[in-house]
């Protein structure tokens, strides 16, 4: 395989993890709840995926299990942050610690062994025969098509072209106004957060069923936090989130390529690139221009719990 195809293929595969998690976080943040538990949710999803596949040898069930675990845990998180209205930062950090710790404890027995069944490439006829791009773009696993095409477009249409989407965004911008207009703030926030958490855990399932593909402690390796940052970098827009994730997939794959080709840089330094890149990408645009800064602005009510009697 020629190097360009290899880099592109790995970038898309690696970016998929971040894209799915970032889409989930976009959903949560647009309705006004910051979920810092993505890292923990991804760890739980990663273990749930592997455990299910070990039992059933079916990657689809594994991915569904990851989504389901995320939904249930997300509903717990939403109960705390939306219904009880506890501090979102604390609950998110708690979820990261709890999820990472629980996943490591439960996943010990699966540690290091390759997932027995994984998502294999599903080449699209004709397109996959194209030179260079064919193998990279059209010979990926099913989840890649779902994450890069179906989900972001669907989310974009719902969020920006439907009444429901308008309601969701208004809850994130000005819950009091939305409430006065008859929108059920708590319900929209609850399900936005829960579904977002399901996607985050799904990203963990993707990690262990389509990308790495095996479970080990620390396999998530900060990807949850990178996903949270990508949402900011993408200006809280789903299609941009996916493009940003692809960019980070590229940075990640440069690390792999560098190791494979013996670049004169320590592998550890190459592994730092995604984290340093993330920091650069959330600081630099803000420095660049006031317009960009406003374009990147967070939903106005982000991380502020809504109390009806304190308008």
Partner 1 sequence: MAARLQRYPTAPPGVALAARAAAIVLALLTASALLALSGLNPIALGQQVIKSTFGSRFGLEDVGLLVTPLIFTGLSVAVALSIGAWNIGAEGQFYAGAFATAGVGLYLHAPAPLMLPLMFAAGALGGAVWILVPTLARAYVSVSELITTLLLNFVALLLVYWVATGPWLDPGGHALGTTARIKYEVPSFWGDVHWGFPIAIGLTIVVALALRYTVWGYEVRISGANPNAAIYAGMPSRARLIVVMLMSGAIAGLSGFFEVAGTVHRLQGGISNNFGYLGIMVAVLARGSSLGVLAGAALMAVILNSGIILQTKGLNVSTVLAITGLILFYTAIGDELAHYRLIWPKRAEA
Q: Encoding tokens for residue 14?
A: 């690696």
Structure tokens at 233: 């970098």
Distance of alpha carbon 16 from alpha carbon 176, whole angstroms: 36
Looking at beta carbons only, is 165 or 222 nearer to partner 1?
222
Task: Write each residue from 127 to 166 as x if it is in contact with partner 1 (CB under 8 A), else as -, in one continuous string.
Answer: ----------------------------------------
Q: Among 84, 103, 111, 83, which residue's Cα sits nearest to residue 37?
A: 103
**Contact call for residue 55 and partner 1 (CB under 8 A):** no
CA dihedral 110, 115, 117, 120 (to 10 degrees): 160
Site for partner 1 in 206-235 (CB under 8 A): 217, 221-222, 225-226, 228-229, 232
Count of beta carbons in the 10 Å neighbourhood of residue 172: 26
- Exposure string (b/e) for 86-108, b if CB count within 10 Å is 16 or more? eebeebbebbbebbbeebbeebe
Q: Please check whether residue 9 is in contact with residue 141, taking contact to mean a CB–CB distance below 8 angstroms.
A: no
| Site mask for partner 1 (CB under 8 A), range 264-303, x = bound | --x-xx-xx--xx-xx--xx--xx-----x----------
Per DSSP, the residues of 233-276 read HTTT-HHHHHHHHHHHHHHHHHHHHHHHTT-SS-HHHHHHHHHH
Instruction: Check binding of 102 to partner 1 (CB under 8 A).
Output: yes
3 binds partner 1 (CB under 8 A): no
Choose between 123 and 222: whose C-beta lies nearer to partner 1: 222
Least Å distance between CB 103 and partner 1? 8
Nearer to partner 1 by C-beta: 148 or 225?
Answer: 225
- Candidates 91, 183, 201, 212: give the one binding partner 1 (CB under 8 A): 91
Please answer whether residues 112 and 212 qualify as being in contact, where contact means their C-beta atoms are separated by less than 8 angstroms. Answer: no
Kindly determine how many residues on this chain lie close enough to bind partner 1 according to the rule CB under 8 A: 48
Least distance between partner 1 and beta carbon 181 (Å): 24
Tell me how far apart the alpha carbons of residues 236 and 298 are, in angstroms, rounded to a whole number.
7
Angle at 201 between CA 213 and CA 163, to 5 degrees: 135
Residue from 98, 117, 147, 185 binding partner 1 (CB under 8 A): 98
Residues 69-88 binding partner 1 (CB under 8 A) are 80, 84-87
Output the smallest distance, CB 165 to partner 1, in A: 26
Q: Which residue number, 187 or 293, has a Cβ lying nearer to partner 1?
A: 293
DSSP 138-191: HSSBHHHHIIIIIHHHHHHHHHHHSHHHHHHHHHHH-HHHHHHTT--HHHHHHH
Region binding partner 1 by CB under 8 A among candidate stretches 62-70, 102-110, 170-178, 207-215: 102-110
Nearer to partner 1, 27 or 232 (CB): 232
Binding residues (CB under 8 A) for partner 1: these are 36, 40, 80, 84-87, 89-91, 93-105, 108, 217, 221-222, 225-226, 228-229, 232, 266, 268-269, 271-272, 275-276, 278-279, 282-283, 286-287, 293, 307, 309
């Amino acid at each position: 395989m020629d190097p360009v195809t290899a880099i592109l293929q790995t970038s898309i595969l690696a970016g998929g993890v971040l894209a799915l998690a970032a889409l989930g976080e976009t959903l949560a943040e647009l309705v006004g709840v910051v979920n810092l538990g993505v890292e923990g949710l991804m760890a739980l999803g990663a273990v749930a995926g592997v455990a299910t596949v070990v039992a059933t040898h079916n990657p689809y069930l594994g991915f569904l299990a990851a989504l389901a675990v995320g939904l249930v845990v997300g509903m717990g998180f939403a109960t705390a942050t939306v219904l009880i209205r506890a501090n979102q930062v604390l609950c998110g950090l708690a979820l990261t610690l709890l999820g990472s710790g629980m996943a490591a404890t439960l996943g010990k027995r699966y540690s290091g062994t390759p997932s027995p069944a994984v998502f294999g490439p599903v080449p699209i006829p004709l397109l996959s025969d194209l030179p260079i791009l064919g193998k990279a773009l059209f010979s990926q696993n099913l989840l890649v098509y779902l994450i890069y095409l179906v989900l972001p477009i669907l989310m974009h249409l719902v969020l920006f072209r439907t009444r429901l989407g308008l309601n969701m965004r208004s809850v994130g911008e000005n819950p009091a106004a939305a409430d006065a207009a008859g929108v059920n703030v708590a319900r929209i926030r609850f399900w936005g957060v829960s579904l977002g958490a399901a996607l985050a855990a799904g990203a963990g399932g993707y990690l262990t069923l389509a990308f790495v593909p095996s479970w080990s402690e620390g396999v998530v390796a900060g990807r949850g936090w990178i996903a949270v940052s990508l949402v900011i970098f993408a200006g809280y827009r789903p299609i941009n989130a996916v493009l940003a994730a692809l960019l980070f997939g590229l940075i990640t794959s440069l690390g792999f390529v560098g190791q494979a080709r013996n670049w004169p840089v320590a592998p550890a330094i190459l592994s730092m690139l995604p984290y340093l890149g993330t920091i650069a990408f959330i600081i630099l645009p803000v420095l660049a221009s006031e317009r960009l800064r406003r374009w990147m602005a967070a939903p106005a009510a982000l991380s502020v719990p809504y109390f009806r009697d304190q308008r």
